[in-house]
Structure 1
Amino acid sequence: MIAAALFDQHRMHPAAEQEYTPYSPPPTAPLPEYLADLVVAALIDEVTLTPKPGLVDMRSRGAHRDLSWALMCHSAWALHSTFHAMAVAGQSMADLQRLREHIGFLGRQGEASMMRATGDINSHRGAIWALGLLVTAAAQDCNALAPAAVAARAGVLARIPDPFSPVLTGNKGQRACHEYRVGGARAQAQAGFPHVIEIALPCLERSRARGDKVNDARLNALLAVIAELDDTCILSRGGTAALASVQAGAQRVLAAGGAASPHGRSVLRQYEEELLVLHVSPGGAADLLAATLFLDQLRTDFVH
C-alpha cells in the first residue's frame, strides 16, 4: 500500500532537507481506495516536508516531545481504513443528515484507532476532522473535483449538526476556542476551508509559477497559512502573545523572499529558533497544509 511505500522512500534520510518527489497514487483504482490513498499520501508528505518551524519533520520533533516523523507516518497509515470508509459513505449515501452522522461515527472510530496506534498520543485528531470532510465531499461527486467545489461540499457537511457528537470533548483545541473566542477547526471547515482555498493554494501556485522547488513552494504555502490563522494549537500552548509572534514571524519569512531565497531561508532558521523558545507548534496550519496537498493533487489528477 502507498503509506508503506512512502515510509520506505523517506526513512533512509531522517535528517534530510533535500528535494523529494511527492507520491501520487494513480487515479485508476476505485474512487474510495484512490481517495484514501491520496489522503494518507498528503499526511505523509506534510510531515515529511522539511524544514518546518515548530513542527515534526524529517530532522526533529519540533516543539513536540511525544511525536516523531516515524510515529506520524504510522498514524497516517493507521487512518487509511477510516478515510476509505468515509469515501465509500460519500459515494453511496445521498441523505446528507445520515451521511453527516455516519462520517462523525467513523471519525470517532478513527480517532480511537489513531490512539491505539500511537499509544494514546494525539497525532492527527485535527486531520481526521478536516480531511475526513474533504475525502467524503470528494467522493460525493467525481465530476466536480476542483478544490473550491470539494471544499464547498465539505463546508455543507460541516454545517450539519451531528446529534451524536459530544458537546464537550475536553480537547485543547476546543478549550482554546472557548477561552480565546476563535472559531478553530470547526469554523474553518464550516466556512469551506477559506485558508486552503484563498491562501494556501494560491500561494502554492504563485511559488510554482516562479520556479520554486516542491519543498519551497509547500513551505511558502504553510507559512502563508500560519501568518493568517488563529491556530488553536498555538493559542492552547502560548496564548494570544505567542500567536501574534508566530504570525508575525511567518510574515517576516515571506517578506524576506520565502523559503526559496537565501535571505528568506536565513530568516526561516531564525524563526524556527523563536518557535522552539516559545515551545509552540502551528499544528492547525499543518492540518490545513495536508488538506491543501490533498486538494492540489486531486486537481492535478482530475481537473483539466
Structure 2
Amino acid sequence: MRALNLQAKPLSLAERLADLAVDALIDEADLSPKPALVDRRGNGAHTDLHLGLMHASALSLWPAFKEMADAALAIGGINPALREHIGRIGREGEQAMLATTQGVNTHRGAIWALGLLVTAAALEPTSRRASEVTLRAARLALLDDRYAPRPLSHGAQVALRYGARGAREEAQLGFPAVMQRGLPQLQRSRVQGHGEQNARLDALLAIMTGLADTCVLYRAGEQGLHTMQSGAQAVLDAGGSASLAGRRRLHELDQQLIALNASPGGAADLLAATLLLDRIEHDGILQGAF
C-alpha cells in the first residue's frame, strides 16, 4: 500500500499573487492603533464596519485577484483587451465583496489599486521591483475601459469638487503616495529598528501627510483633510509610532479624526498597496518560482 502523498501542491504564480494581495488587506486591517480606522481596538470612525467584516471582505476578493493575474499571463501585454478584462473581473469581485458584507463598501478602492498591481506583477514576473510594477500598473490604468459604468463614485465626485487626485489618478501617476512616501518610510523605520508594526504605522502616517484622501474629504471636508495631514506629520516629527511622544500624538490624531467622523480609507488602501509591493519584491516563494 502506497503511503499518502501529503506534500502540498506548489502554488501557481496567480495563486501566490492573490495570496499576497489578501494578506496585505488583512495585515492593513489588523494593524493597530490606526487613526479613526477599523483595527483590533474597534471600529474607528465607522458604524457599519468591524474587523471580522474586513477579514471576510478581503478573503472574498481572492478569486478576483487570481483571475486578474491569470488574465495578465494569458493576454501577455498591456493593451485595451487586458484593461477591459480586469475591469470586468474587478466589477465581479466588487459584487462578491458586497454579497459577503451585505452591501457594505469595505474594499472598493483596494480592488482597483491591488488589482492593478497584481496584474502588473503577473505581466512580467521577473521584473518585481516596486518601481517597475507601478510603472506597468500606471500604463494599464491610463487605458480606457469601454464597459466601465460612468456614474461618478463618491471619491470621484469629491476629487472633482476639491480638485484632488482620486484613486484613478493616483494609479495613473504610478502610485506616488506609495512610492514617494509609504515605501520609503516603511524601509526607513525598519532600518531604524522601530519594529515591523511601528514601521507599517509610520508608512501609513507618511501616506497621510501628503494624500488628499477623498474618503476624508467626503466625510469631513477640508478641515478633516488638514487635521489628518498635519496630525500625521506631527506624529512623525515627534519620533514616529515607536516613540512615546509619537504615540501620544497618534492618540490625539485618532480622537480628532473620530470627532470629525473622518476615516482615512484612501490612505488605508494605499498602505495595503505598499505592503503588497514590498512583498512582491521580497517574497521568497515568488523568487523561487522564476
2:114 corresponds to which residue?
131
How does the TM-score come out when normalised to structure 2? 0.93
Alpha-carbon shift at residue 71 of structure 1 (Å): 0.1
2: CA distance between counterparts of 1:54 and 1:191? 27
Larger Rg: 2
1:239 corresponds to which residue?
221
Alpha-carbon shift at residue 178 of structure 1 (Å): 1.6
1:140 aligns with 2:132: no
1: CA distance between counterparts of 2:241 and 2:107? 25
2:5 corresponds to which residue?
none
1:78 corresponds to which residue?
60
2: CA distance between counterparts of 1:245 and 1:282? 11
> SS state of the match for residue 259, structure 2?
helix
2: CA distance between counterparts of 1:45 and 1:154? 22
Contact 1:145–1:303 (CA<8 Å) still a contact in 2? no
Alpha-carbon shift at residue 303 of structure 1 (Å): 6.8
Deviation track 1:216-273 (CA, whole Å, cap 9, x = no partner) reads 0000000000010000000001111210111000010010000000111111111111
1: CA distance between counterparts of 2:165 and 2:149? 17
Number of residue pairs aligned between Structure 1 and Structure 2 = 277
Structure 1 vs Structure 2: percent identity of aligned residues? 49
From 128, 136, 148, the counterpart of 1:153: 136
From 171, 174, 177, the counterpart of 1:195: 177
> SS state of the match for residue 161, structure 1?
coil
Counterpart residue type for residue 61 of structure 2: L
1: CA distance between counterparts of 2:271 and 2:36? 14
How does the TM-score come out when normalised to structure 1? 0.89
1: CA distance between counterparts of 2:224 and 2:31? 23
2: CA distance between counterparts of 1:164 and 1:229? 29
Counterpart residue type for residue 233 of structure 2: Q
From 268, 275, 278, the counterpart of 1:286: 268
1:262 aligns with 2:235: no
1:45 corresponds to which residue?
27
Runs (5+) with no aligned partner, structure 2: 1-7
1:250 corresponds to which residue?
232
Deviation track 1:20-74 (CA, whole Å, cap 9, x = no partner) reads xxxxxx9x52100000000000000000000000100011000000000000000
2:44 corresponds to which residue?
62
Contact 1:146–1:303 (CA<8 Å) still a contact in 2? no
2:99 corresponds to which residue?
116
> SS state of the match for residue 149, structure 1?
helix
2: CA distance between counterparts of 1:165 and 1:123? 20
Q: 1:154 to 1:31 in 2, by over 3 A?
A: same
Runs of 4+ in 1 over 2 A off after TM superposition: none
